Amino acid sequence: MEDPTGWVAVVRDLFSGVGILAFAISGALLAVQKRMDFVGMAGLAVVTATGGGMLRDVLIGATPVAAMVDWWMLMVALGGALAVWVLHRWMVRLNRPVLVFDAIGLGIFVVEGARKALEFGVGPVGAAFVGMLTGIGGGILRDALANDIPAVFRRDSRLYLLPALVGSSAAAAAVALGVGQWYVLALIAVGVCALRIASELLHWHVPALKTEAITVIRD
């Protein structure tokens, strides 16, 4: 992205911080549901908030990974865990705000993931995959550690992986075609955010096969 004054980077980091905080809260809330202690809450919060970015950086060879260099990311994630620890009885009131922050973070992370992958020499198709993984990777790791089927793969889940893939593909194509100015990528991130929120409000989901539970016969 062209950023002669540096303010675009500041805004990007600000919104990334919002997304990291939202992802951290979702991880900590799942830890509460699983009856984990504060160590478990902090662990799930950090994994959810930074896992996607770590997977991205490992895949494209950007080491040490950003979360290990930019210490503020870990601090924000731990702050989200602490907020849940103190305010978990009232967190149910934050469902809509957290959804919005999560959607903002998803839009920014998939776009930034694709852009960074291209910057490190990955092709457009690979960059689209890396961008998608940046957005959904933390949630997959969170659910796996909590012994759940990842939310993005459940038949009753709203659209999440699809907006991530559409956004990362659009960002990779824009940069590869030479039209990856910051405002173009920002519009793509807004589109991902809007699609994610719309899928929750309008109950959109990917079609699934109609199956019946298998009867278990004992003895």
Q: Please write the tens of the pLDDT for every residue from 73-87.
A: 999 999 999 998 988
Local structure of residue 148 (DSSP, 8 states): S
Give Cβ neighbours of residue 52 (< 8 Å, ≥ 6 apart). Answer: 109, 113, 133, 134, 135, 136, 137, 138, 139
User: Is the pLDDT score of 219 beyond 60?
Assistant: no
186: confidence class by pLDDT, cuts 50, 70, 90: confident
Closest CA to 160 of 185, 137, 141: 137
Q: Mean of the pLDDT values across residues 39-56?
A: 93
At 133, list the tokens: 């993984």
pLDDT at 159: 87
Q: Give Cα 38 distance to the centre of its chain.
A: 22
Output the average pLDDT for the chain: 85
Measured in degrees and rounded to the nearest 5, phi and psi for residue 144 equal: -65, -45
pLDDT at 1: 45
User: Is the pLDDT score of 178 beyond 80?
Assistant: yes
* Cβ contacts of 65-72, under 8 Å, gap ≥ 24: 72/17
Q: Please write the tens of the pLDDT for every residue from 118-131.
A: 999 999 999 999 99
Residue spans per domain, the chain = 7-201
DSSP, residue by residue, 83-147: HHHHHGGGGGGGHHHHHHHHHHHHHHHHHHHHHHHHHTT--HHHHHHHHHHHHHHHHHHHHHHTT
